[in-house]
Chains A and B, each alone.
Chain A
Amino acid sequence: MAVRLLSKIKLLPELRGAAYVSSAAAPAELSDFEVQHKTPVIRKQKLIPVAQYGGRHAVTMLPGGGIGPECMGYVRDIFKYIGAPVDFELVDIDPNVDNDDDVQYAITTIKRNGVGLKGNIETKSEAAYVTSRNVALRNELDMYAYVLNCKSYPGVSTRHKDIDVVIIRQNTEGEYAMLEHESVRGVIESMKVVTASNSERVARFAFEFAKRNGRKKVTTVHKANIMKLSDGLFLETSRRLAEEYPEIEHNDMIIDNCCMQLVARPHQFDVMLMTNLYGSIVSNVVCGLLGGAGLLSGRNYGDHYAVFEPGTRNTGTAIAGKNIANPIAMINASVDMLEHLGHHFHADLIRRAVNKTINVDKVLTPDVGGTASSSEVVNNIMGNIGRC
């Protein structure tokens, strides 16, 4: 009778999930999958790139407009020269078409490959309902953090020397929410959206980054004296997270004071954390201090995808096709991508060659004060590979 009672209890839906009703030993029948996912394990959030056949990776390539296509050509040349284990999947986005099919296809390939390399995509249409393609890409792939590592090159003559700043910028919301409407004729409202979850994610990213890379200070840049609720939320979140990382110093600064300090004394900054628009302003200011838009590369990070691009997201239409564009930014982006995928040997080869070209040989394009053409710079880099 006890057995009959027990069997009836087992049939009750609530108890069906329970593994043990009696004190008898548990059946060792869990599959490997269940062991991995149902037993409590502290899982580290790590971006795991998808490896394909023979240890080669597939990477989506979005040349965009302006100087994008020619720079991508140089990247391909260098990769072919060193035999980097990366296959590019090229997706062209037509700037004149109004529909989103190209962009959707690009997003699908990045989801499949996990990693992308892109130039700046033009959105020629000025209609209000057409979202900027770059913004659509970032939002769809939820790449919430943008990291710009700004380190001075000694070979480029600038007013300030030895700058070493990392800018971490919230990449998906803020002023770039692109929610606008005309409430009354002649009056337009544009919404800036700040959420607690996104602020927390990017703040945690910043502090983790600082911790992992041995950085000492994080500065939050804001305008909370005027925009009390929105920037106030961002600031409060970063202050709260700062308490969890007592070994890292945290302070905050208002954006106008920050810009003033950047042009006068940029060495007081280490890691800077901010919302979307201020990130755009500060990254352009710092890139200007370092010699221009042609040198630095930026990394878009999300939980699952990463896309690498030239730091200041300029299209450079004015200098397209003239062989004077600076290819260094795109080459640096490709090096970042190789490091992200774990191909440190190849990444190192290219990085050392680039450093030698800029600092020792001083073969530079006109925008940073040199006289060489883009192809001369690239040839010099390829000549330096393996020899330094």
Chain B
Amino acid sequence: MAARIIRKIVPAGRAGTAQYSTGVRKVTLIPGHGIGPEITVAVQKIFEAAKVPIEWDEVDVTAVRGPDGKFGIPQRAIDSVNENKIGLKGPLMTPVGKGYRSLNLALRKEFDLYANVRPCKSLDGIKTLYDNVDVVTIRENTEGEYSGIEHEIVDGVVQSIKLITEEASKRVAQFAFQFARDNKRKKVTAVHKANIMRMSDGLFLRCCRDLATQYPDVKFEERYLDTVCLNMVQDPSKFDVLVMPNLYGDIMSDMCSGLVGGLGLTPSGNIGKNGALFESVHGTAPDIAGKDMANPTALLLSAIMMLRHLQLNEHADKVQNACYEVLREGKSLTGDLGGTGKCSEYTNAIISKLN
């Protein structure tokens, strides 16, 4: 209990508190299910070869039955997450059935993750119909259309409530502008539908406008959701950083990752008050699990994002350049990218490029 009081008094810095004097950072690692374990092993090997000062604290988040009868994350995982404040997560499968709370949701509540960041950048060597895409979608992660408040008022009439609060909108707008400034991005676009949802999206828009005045070095514009969709599929270079409420963010981020080659190549980071969690957003792919056919690129790029968040930029650049070069060469690509290489071959190719 004393530890908890002390933890509250001593403010947790942005880089987290679990740091040894040698500068090695401790990170919670959640391998996940399906291809999760293989790709996490691949990332660990690459980081080891690149001599990244990270110590992995592997935890299992398979649901266990708590004292109240409901399934939830084991306490060991929660403690690890609270201590390290940074996590890397593979794909999770929530078992279907009563009593299983969604593990993703539980993690989100534990860390209090409020912003989801997904940078979508065209990769050299992966040919899609769209070139030169460089968009970052920042999505509000806690409320909006996914508040889960639904009722059947009368037989045959269902209402679902979309909740927008000033606090959450301000928080995510602040994060977006700060992100733009830190990463030297030029423009932030607020995506909304305030012509129809006047009060809710109107509030979101007002919060964004307010914060724009505090960051005069970053250009701010506001666009309707339909216009953004229309322009994004014609000319993605028109957009830089997009900030939006939950549902639009979900759809836009998936659409943007479709432009660069799919979920197997897109990193994703969730930033919270209490830490940050970086993850791969693809599925568990149970059909290729254990066959050394998985593509670790998404998890690797997320891990690189994590390094940048921890201010370990030289290590991040090193690993990133190695990864991009292997993709550019196109010799050891895995099956989903059109190649015939195995996961281990791909990993070794990246390790060899590190030297």
When distances are taken between beta carbons in the complex, the residues of chain B under 8 Å from A191 are 159-162
Point out the residues of chain B lying under 8 angstroms from A284, CB to CB: 226-227, 229-230
Residues of chain A within 8 A of B258, CB atoms compared: 259-264
Q: Does B233 contact A (CB under 8 A)?
A: yes
Query: Is A72 an interface residue when CB atoms closer than 8 A count as contact?
Result: no
Q: Are B255 and A256 in contact (CB under 8 A)?
A: yes
Which residue on chain A has the smallest CB distance to residue B165?
A: A187
A230 & B158 in contact (Cβ 8 Å cutoff)? yes
Inter-chain contact A123/B129, CB cutoff 8 Å: no
A192-B145, A260-B258, A263-B259 known; A175-B161 Cβ under 8 A = no
Given contacts A194-B158, A229-B158, contact A188 B165 (CB under 8 A): yes
B146 at the interface (CB under 8 A from A): yes
Report the nearest B residue to A181, measured CB to CB.
B199
Give the residue of B164, B232, B257 whose beta carbon is less than 8 angstroms from that of A260.
B257
Given A159-B130, A193-B159, A230-B158, does the pair A285, B197 have CB atoms closer than 8 Å? no
Q: Let me know if B163 is at the binding interface, CB within 8 A.
A: yes
Q: A256 to chain B: which residues have CB within 8 Å?
A: 250-251, 253-255
Contact with A along B217-230 (1 / 0, CB 8 A): 00000000111011
Q: Which residues of A contact B247 (CB under 8 A)?
A: 223, 277
Q: A56 — which chain B residues lie within 8 A by C-beta?
A: none
**Which residue, of B157, B225, B233, B262, has the highest number of chain A Cβ atoms within 10 A?**
B233
Q: Which of A20-28, A144-152, A286-294, A328-336 contacts B (4 or more CB under 8 A)?
A: A286-294
B129 interface neighbour in A160, A194, A277, Cβ under 8 Å: A160
What residues of chain B lie closer than 8 Å to A195, measured between beta carbons? 156-158
Is there an interface contact between A226 and B164, defined as CB atoms closer than 8 Å?
Answer: no
Tally of chain A residues near chain B (CB < 8 A): 57
The reply to whether B150 and A188 form a contact with Cβ atoms under 8 Å apart is no
Bound CA span A37–B174, Å: 65
- Which residues of the partner chain A approach B255 to less than 8 Å between Cβ atoms? 256, 259-260, 262-263, 285
Contact B226 A188 (CB under 8 A): no
Q: When the two chains form their complex, are residues B199 and A188 in contact, meaning their CB atoms are under 8 A apart?
A: yes
**Complex CA–CA separation, A292 to B151 (angstroms):** 39
Pick from B145, B203, B234: contact of A227, CB below 8 A: B145
| A99 touches B (CB below 8 Å) | no
> Taking the complex as formed, is B339 at the interface, i.e. its CB lies under 8 A from any CB of chain A?
no
The one of B151, B162, B167 that contacts A229, using a Cβ cutoff of 8 Å: B151
User: A289 CA to B151 CA in the complex, in Å?
Assistant: 37
| Contact in complex: A285, B233 (CB < 8 Å) | yes
Task: Flag whether B231 is at the interface (Cβ < 8 A).
Answer: yes
Known contacts A135-B196, A263-B255, A189 near B158 by CB under 8 Å: no
B226 touches A280 (CB 8 A): yes
Q: Is B14 an interface residue (CB 8 A)?
A: no
Counting CB contacts under 8 A, is A190 at the interface? yes
B202 touching A190 by the CB < 8 A rule?
no
Distance in angstroms from A55 CB to nearest chain B CB is 39
Inter-chain contact B230/A226, CB cutoff 8 Å:
no
A126 CB-CB contact with B under 8 Å: yes
- Give residues 192-250 of A contacting B (CB, 8 Å): 192-197, 223, 226-230, 233
The digit string for A287-307, where 1 denotes a CB below 8 A from any CB of B, is 111011100000000000000
User: How many angstroms from the CA of A178 to the CA of B193 in the assembled complex?
Assistant: 12
* Smallest CB gap from A281: residue in B: B229
> Which A residues are CB-close (under 8 A) to B251?
255-256, 259, 281
Complex A-B, nearest 8 residue pairs according to Cβ-Cβ distance, in ascending order: A260-B258, A196-B156, A288-B233, A256-B254, A186-B166, A229-B150, A284-B229, A259-B255
Contact surface of B with A, Cβ cutoff 8 Å: 128-130, 145-146, 148, 150-152, 155-167, 193-200, 202-203, 225-227, 229-234, 247, 250-251, 253-255, 257-259, 262-263
19 additional A-B residue pairs with CB within 8 Å, beyond A191-B160, A259-B255, A314-B226: A127-B198, A135-B196, A186-B165, A186-B167, A188-B164, A192-B159, A193-B158, A228-B150, A229-B150, A229-B151, A230-B160, A256-B251, A260-B262, A263-B258, A263-B259, A281-B225, A284-B229, A288-B232, A291-B234
